[in-house]
Amino acid sequence: MNDFVQLWVYLSATPLFGLTATITVYVAAQALYARLGQAPWANPVLITVLALAGLLTLTRTPYPTYFSGAQFIHFLLGPAVVALGWPLWQRRQQLRQRGLALLAAALAGGAAAAATAVGIGWALGLPQDVLRSLAPKSVTAPVAMGIAEQLGGIPALAAVLAVLTGLVGAISAKYLFDALGIASPAVRGFALGTASHGIGAARAMQVHPDAGAYAGLALGLQVIIASLLMPALAAIL
């Protein structure tokens, strides 16, 4: 027990705490996810977020202390997103044939995601800065923060809303697609990437390679479309 206490004191005082805690919790969550047959409701990202939040609360560890170690994993998000381009390159012939249809679907999906979120928020009487933070909820979190700042929203809130959107999509998409009778992995993946960005794309990749590839494409299209159109539309309106 004394050795464990000394180890805890050492880890909690160094950047190793955030790194070690994140990797340990995620590996355990991934093992549980696999043991449960990759059930959508057992999403390892959701379990990891909840477990780490509970750990930081119980140990009274400030978030900056945790992130000083977790930032090493955060850095790897960039290369991970770039790696999504490889499955697309393998399917480049299909993408050329479906280019216009995919672009139209991305525009329609992104518009629906933003309009419904803002519309529901407006109907509930939410403040303007919250509505502006809701608009980019289906864009991956780092980009959503930048867009929300340009729109006059709250970047931190936009990041939280984006993560929640991704988790809800990753957990509920299978049941929704089954209920609607949508069987095509490409269609399911593209829809999931459009609505639930990176977290949805990660889930799609675990289910089927085509679903993962098209989810990655949808993620990239939403980043470009939202970054270009949302600030322009906000300025006009």
For residues 169 and 221, state if they share a domain.
yes
Give mean pLDDT, residues 5-11. Answer: 53
Same domain, 41 and 106: no
Angle 55-7-21 from CA coordinates, rounded to 5°: 35
Same domain, 116 and 219: yes
Task: Judge if 157 and 208 occupy the same domain.
Answer: yes
Last residue of a domain, one of 37, 55, 75: 75
The reply to whether 64 and 91 lie within a common domain is no
pTM, rounded to two decimals: 0.77
Pair 54, 137 in one domain: no
User: Residue 57 to residues 51, 90, 209: CA-CA distances in angstroms?
Assistant: 10, 44, 38
Instruction: Based on the fold, state whether residues 91 and 12 are members of the same structural domain.
Output: no
Residue 8 pLDDT more than 70? no
Q: What is the pLDDT of residue 104?
A: 93
**Does 220 lie in the same domain as 178?**
yes
Does residue 107 share a domain with residue 60? no
Give the residue-averaged pLDDT of 130-143.
88
Q: Could you give the 3-state DSSP secondary structure of residue 35?
A: helix
Q: Write b or e for each residue in 208-230: b if 16 or more Cβ atoms lie within 10 A of its Cβ, otherwise e.
A: bebbbbbbbbbbbbbbebbbeeb
pLDDT digits (tens, 9 = 90+) for 181-226: 999 999 999 999 998 888 888 888 888 888 888 988 898 888 888 8
Report how far residue 3's alpha carbon sits from residue 193's, in angstroms, rounded to the nearest whole number: 46
Domain count, the chain: 2
Q: 48 with 89, same domain?
A: no
Which residues, other chains included, contact 40 with Cβ-Cβ below 8 Å and sequence gap of 6+?
Answer: 170, 171, 172, 173, 174, 175, 203
Average pLDDT of the segment spanning 106-135: 91
User: Based on the domain organization, do 9 and 70 belong to the same domain?
Assistant: yes
Domain holding 29, by residue range, is 2-75
DSSP 118-179: HHHHHHTT--HHHHHHHTTTTS-HHHHHHHHHHHTS-HHHHHHHHHHHHHHHHHHHHHHHHH
Last residue of a domain, one of 75, 100, 122: 75
Cβ neighbours around 151 below 10 Å, total: 22
Q: For 38, left (φ over 0), alpha (ψ -120 to 50), or beta?
A: left
Q: Which amino acid is at 159?
A: A
pLDDT tens digits, one per residue of 156-176: 898 888 888 988 888 888 899
225 and 182, same domain (yes or no): yes
Domain boundary among the residues 51, 75, 99 is at 75
Is the per-residue pLDDT at 124 higher than 70? yes
Is residue 227 pLDDT above 70, yes or no? yes
- Measured between alpha carbons, how far is 215 from 3 in angstroms, rounded to an integer? 46
